[in-house]
Amino acid sequence: MIHLLGPYVVAALLVGLGVMGVLARRNAVLVLVGVELILSGSLVLLVAAGATAPSRWEASSVLPLFVITIAAAEVVVALAVILTAFRHRGSIDMDEAL
């Protein structure tokens, strides 16, 4: 079993990158990418959490599956909305006035 420091650092890095992406970017697709980074960091954290002791719930195996599925559905909706907005405005710059 690997030492858990590694996964925790990776998770923290991913979440940090994701938050920075969300805050600093004005493009809607890039905000989506930032959120996906946050999700990846959380997934790493989840998997690492179950690595120490086996629990009867096996949450660290099941929950990531749930999260990935939801994220997929979310991306579908997100891209649909972004496409609609793009069709109307010609750009997906979120700071642009209506």
Partner 1 sequence: MSALQVSYLLVLVPALAAVATLALRRWQGPATLVSVGAALVSLLLAVVGLVVAPVRGTDLVPLRGSYAVGGLDLPLQLGAGPATAAVAAVVALVAAAVLVFTRWYLAADDRLAVFAATVSLFTAAMMLVVHSRDLVLTVVGWEVMGWCSYLLIGHWSRKESARRAALKAFLVTRVADIGFVLGVVGLCAGAGSTGLDTVVAAWTSDEAPGSPALRSTLLVLVVIGVLGKSAQFPFQDWLPDAMEGPTPASALIHAATMVAAGTVVLAQLFEVLVLADGARWVLGLATAVTMVGAAVLALGQSDLKRLLAWSTVSQVAIMLSALATTTRDVGPDPALFHLWSHAIFKSLLFLTIGWLSVIAGSTLASALRGAGHGHPLARVAWLFGLLALAGAPFVVGGLSKEHVVVTAYEGAASAGGPGVVVLAALLVTVVLTAAYAVRAHLVVSAPVPNSPIPPLGPDTPGPNGGIGEKSTGHAGMPSAPVLASLAVLTVLTVVGGLVLLTGLFDVHGASVWWMVLTTLLIVIGGGLAWLARGSGDPRDQFVRTPRHRALADSGFGADTAYRALVARPVLGLARVVAFLDREVVDGYVRGAAASAGVAGWLAERGHRRESPSAGLGLLALGLLVAAGTAVLTWR
Partner 2 sequence: MTLEMSWGLLLPALLPVAAMLLVLVVDAVAPRARLAAPVIGALGLGGGAATALPGLVGTGPRLTLCTPAPEGRCLWDGGPLTSTLQVAALLATLAVLALVSIHRAGVIDVVLLLASASGAAAVVASRDLGTWLVTLELATLPVIALVAWRDRRAAAHGALTLLTTSLVSFGLLVLGAALWVTGTGDPTLTGDSLATAWEVPEQRVLVSLATVVLVAGLAFKMSAVPFHAWTPTTLAAGPLPVSALLASASKVAAVGALIVVLTPYESVLGLSPGPHAVVAALVTLTVASMLVGTVMALRQTEVVRLLAWSTVAQAGWVILPLTALTAAGRRAAAVYVVVYAVAGLVAFAAVRAVHGPHVEDRRDLTAYQGLLRRDPVAGGALALALLVLAGLPPGVIGLVAKIVAIRPVVSAGLWPVAVVAVVAAVLGIAVYVRWFAVLIGEPGEDAPARQRSRRASVGVALVGSAVLVLASVLPQLLVGLVS
Q: Using CB under 8 A, which of 7, 8, 10, 19 touches partner 1? A: 19
- The answer to whether 97 contacts partner 1 (rule: CB under 8 A) is yes
22 versus 71: smaller Cβ distance to partner 1: 22
95 binds, among partner 2, partner 1, none (CB under 5 to 8 A by kind): partner 1
Query: In the numeric block, which tokens belong to residue 4?
Result: 């858990």
Instruction: Provide the mask over 25-44, with x wherever binding to partner 1 is found by CB under 8 A and - wherever it is not.
Output: -x----x-------------
**Is the torsion defined by CA of 90, 81, 19, 30 positive or negative?**
negative
Helix 5-24 and helix 28-49: axis angle, to 10°? 160
- The answer to whether 23 contacts partner 1 (rule: CB under 8 A) is yes
Q: How many CB atoms lie within 10 A of CB 86?
A: 13
